Amino acid sequence: MLIAAFHLLGRLPLRALHALGGALGWVVYGLSPSYRRRIGENLPANVAAGPAGRRRVLHRAITEGGRQALELAWVWTATAEQIQARVQTANPEVIEGLLRQDRAILMLTPHLGCFEVIAQHHMTGAAGRARPMLALYRVPRKSSLRPLFEQARIRHGLLLAPADLHGVRLMLRALRNREIVGLLPDQVPSRGEGVWAPFFGRPAFTMTLPARLACAHDALVVLVYAQRLPRGAGYRIHWQPLEASLTGEPQADAASINAAMEHVILRCPEQYLWSYNRYKRPPGVAAPPPAGDPLPATPAANTISP
């Protein structure tokens, strides 16, 4: 039933889905106190100039959050031709320059814009045929959703790695083969897989995996996001190479990646998923130190073998 409804929604024009999604965002905001509280708490004060500017970003974020939910029906059912027609690259010279190098590429996609369309656009183009992509994903808790999530993502040849030890092995193999590996660096990791690092002025439990993977295989690191265009026009993908050098020190590297994410998020803050529970404390993880105190060091066990 759910899969059938999803495919039915996928037949609607993208503009219609975005209109329905925008309305859905406000319905959820009105009906869910926890959703209202989280998006209000997570949206930083400096996201725009003054209280009025922040309020405008908040209102647009509510709309964009609903659009992000419903547009998946289009992204996961669109043909290769439809995706190529609706998705453009803002700075193609960046990805072309990365692909020319004989090195692995680690692609970091925050919860910004339509992050799901990035991999589909790559795999439906010439670059995807030359350099395949492996994406890390979390297996849905409801087993009934697993066929929908997995089959939709692999339609155009995207390779998937589950967020477990087997998935890490798949990513290591892909990096050894100088392929492209993609993951969401602002997902909250489990105990032993992250450190507390600042994110928009607050301590956030942050993945150490991206930096460990990059350092293990001398991978090029690039932040990527797909900006949602108005009136259902499609998406514009932006590629931003990581400017900071990764040192192999988990605390410093996590802070560097978070700072880079802040930079790209502030380009279109209304399209970030502020409702995501970014600042939660996973079970078994000690609370972050009080404000002003140094963040705790990472255990030495957080290493990865090439």
User: pLDDT by residue for the chain (306 residues), tens digit each?
Assistant: 667 777 788 889 999 999 999 999 999 999 999 999 999 999 998 898 889 999 999 999 999 999 999 999 999 999 999 999 999 999 999 999 999 998 999 999 999 999 999 999 999 998 888 889 999 988 777 776 677 778 888 888 999 998 888 999 999 999 999 999 999 999 999 888 899 999 999 999 999 999 999 999 999 999 999 999 999 999 999 999 999 999 999 999 999 999 999 999 999 999 999 999 999 999 999 998 876 566 654 443 344 444
Q: In this predicted structure, what is the pLDDT of residue 302?
A: 41
Q: Do the beta carbons of residue 243 and residue 260 sit within 8 Å?
A: yes
Q: What is the pLDDT of residue 163?
A: 86
Which pLDDT score is estimated for 293? 61
What six digits make up the tokens of 99?
Answer: 């692909």
Tokens of 187: 């997902």
- Predicted pLDDT of residue 137: 87
- Closest Cα to residue 273, out of 33, 84, 25? 25
Which pair of tokens denotes residue 83? 């995706």
Please tell me the number of Cα atoms within 13 Å of 300 on its side-chain side. 0
Residue 277: what pLDDT?
Answer: 95
Residue 88 in domain: yes
> Is residue 294 situated within a structural domain?
no
Q: What is the pLDDT of residue 268?
A: 96
Question: Is there a domain that residue 215 lies in?
Answer: yes
Residue 279 lies in a domain: no
Q: Give me 300's structure tokens.
A: 């030495």
Q: pTM of whole model > 0.85?
A: yes
Q: Which domain holds residue 122?
A: 2-271
What is the pLDDT, as a whole number, of residue 36?
A: 96
pLDDT of 262 reads: 97
**Angle 197-270-239 from CA coordinates, rounded to 5°:** 70
Residue 285 lies in a domain: no
Handedness of CA 30, 226, 109, 248 (dihedral sign): negative
**Does residue 302 fall inside a structural domain?**
no
Number of structural domains found in the chain: 1
- Whether 306 is covered by a domain: the verdict is no
Identify whether 297 is part of a domain: no
- How distant, in Å, are the alpha carbons of 62, 76, 105, 186, 221 from that of 272? 10, 20, 24, 11, 21
